[in-house]
Amino acid sequence: MAARSPLSRRGFVGGVASALGVIGIAPGAQLWARGVRRIDGETAFGPEEDYDGYAKLANNENPYGPPESVMKAMMRAMKYSNRYGYPDSGLADELVKHHGVKAENILLAAGSGEILDVCCNTFLQDGKMLVGVDPSYNVFYSQVTSFKSDIIKVPLLPDYRQDIPAMIRATRQNYRDVGLVYMCNPNNPTGRLVTKDEIRQLLDGIPEDVPVLIDEAYHHFVDDPSYATSTPYVIEGRQVIVARTFSKIAALAGMRLGYALAPKMLVQKMRVNSTGSINALVRYGGVAALNDTESQAWVKKQTIDLRTKTTKELASLGYASIPSDANFFMVHLKRPVQPVIDEFKKKGVLVGRPFPPLNEHLRVSIGTPDEMSRFMVAFRDIMTAKTAKAG
Ligand code: PLP
Per-residue model confidence as pLDDT tens digits over 185-200: 999 999 999 999 999 9
Of 15-19, 217-221, 240-244, 368-372, least confident by mean pLDDT is 15-19
Distance (angstroms) between ligand 1 centre and the Cα of 243 equals: 9
Position 362 pLDDT exceeds 90? yes
Cα within 13 Å of Cα(48), Cβ side: 6
Topology of the domain covering 68-291:
Aspartate Aminotransferase; domain 2 (3.40.640)
Percent of the chain with pLDDT over 70: 86
Ligand 1 atom nearest to CA at 137: 3
Average pLDDT, whole number, for the chain?
89
- Report the residue count for the chain: 391
- Same fold yes or no, 39-64+295-390 and 68-291: no
What is the pLDDT confidence band of residue 360, given thresholds at 50, 70 and 90? very high
Among 62, 139, 279, 363, name the best residue to mutate to test ligand 1's pocket (greatest count of ligand atoms within 8 A of Cβ).
139
Among 44-58, 82-96, 109-123, 205-219, which stretch is predicted with the lowest mean pLDDT?
Answer: 44-58
Q: How far is CA 314 from the centre of its chain?
A: 22
Q: Is 234 in the pocket of ligand 1 (CB under 6 A)?
A: no
Q: Residue 111 — pLDDT band, cuts 50, 70, 90?
A: very high
Dist. CA 107–CA 258, nearest whole Å:
9
Give residue 385's pLDDT.
79
Q: Which residues, 6 or more positions from 260, have their beta carbon under 8 angstroms from its beta carbon?
A: 106, 107, 109, 112, 115, 118, 119, 241, 242, 243, 244, 267, 270
Residue 184, ligand 1, Cβ within 6 A: yes
Q: Please compute the mean of the pLDDT values over residues 376-388 and round it to a whole number.
A: 84
Looking at the CA of residue 110, tell me the nearest atom of ligand 1.
Answer: 14
Report field, pTM of the whole predicted structure over 0.95: no
Specify the residue with its C-alpha closest to ligand 1, atom 1: 217
Query: Once rounded to an integer, what is the mean pLDDT over residues 358-379?
Result: 98
CATH number of 39-64+295-390, picked from 3.40.630.30, 3.40.50.720, 3.40.50.920, 3.90.1150.10: 3.90.1150.10
pLDDT over 70 (residue 14): no
* pLDDT of res. 46: 56
> Which ligand 1 atom is at minimum distance from the Cα of 188?
3
Measured distance CA(37)–CA(44) in Å, rounded: 6
* Ligand 1 and 188: CB distance under 6 A: yes
Backbone angles phi, psi at 52, to 5 degrees: -60, -30
* Percent with pLDDT over 90 in the chain: 83
Q: What is the pLDDT of residue 35?
A: 41
Judge if the beta carbon of residue 113 lies within 6 A of ligand 1: yes
Question: Residue 28: is its pLDDT beyond 70?
Answer: no
pLDDT at 75 over 80: yes
Task: Spell out the domain ranges in the chain.
Answer: 1-38, 39-64+295-390, 68-291
pLDDT attached to residue 52: 87
